[in-house]
C-alpha cells in the first residue's frame, strides 16, 4: 500500500478489517490500557503511543508486517503511523479510529473477550 506524499496514508475501518482478516496486515491499537480494556478489535495488537514514543519496539507478531494503526478517533494513530514509518515500517492510519470502526458495525471486544465499548 503506497504512502501519500503529504502526511500518512489512511484506510477506512472496512479496508482495515479486510486486510487484517486476510492476514496480510496487523491492526495496531495505540490507545492507553484503560481504553484497550474497555473495547478493541479482536486480534488487534496493543502498544500504546506513549510507549512507542519512548522507543518501545513492536511485538514479534507485528514485526516486518504492514501495520494498520488505530486509536479512538484518528489523531494518535496518525502520529504513531508517522513515527513507525520513520522507523522503516509500512504503517497507515485507520480513518476515524475505533469510533468509526464501531460505527461501521465491526466487532469490538473487551479485555475478557465479551462485547466491548469504545471509551
Task: Report, as residue numbers or ranges, the catalytic residues.
Answer: 71
At residue 17's C-alpha, the angle toward residues 13 and 19, to 5°, is 115
8 A C-beta contact, residue 74 and residue 68? no
Give Cα 32 to chain centroid, integer Å: 12
At residue 40's C-alpha, the angle toward residues 64 and 69, to 5°, is 35
Amino acid at each position: 500500500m503506497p504512502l501519500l506524499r503529504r502526511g500518512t496514508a489512511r484506510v477506512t475501518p472496512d479496508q482495515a478489517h479486510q486486510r487484517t482478516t486476510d492476514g496480510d496486515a496487523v491492526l495496531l491499537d495505540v490507545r492507553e490500557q484503560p481504553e484497550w480494556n474497555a473495547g478493541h478489535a479482536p486480534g488487534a495488537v496493543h502498544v500504546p503511543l506513549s510507549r512507542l514514543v519512548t522507543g518501545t519496539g513492536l511485538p514479534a507478531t507485528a514485526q516486518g508486517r504492514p501495520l494498520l494503526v488505530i486509536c479512538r478517533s484518528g489523531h494518535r494513530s496518525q502520529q504513531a503511523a508517522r513515527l513507525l514509518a520513520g522507523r522503516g515500517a509500512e504503517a497507515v492510519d485507520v480513518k476515524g479510529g475505533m469510533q468509526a470502526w464501531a460505527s461501521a458495525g465491526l466487532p469490538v471486544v473487551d479485555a475478557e473477550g465479551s462485547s466491548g465499548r469504545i471509551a
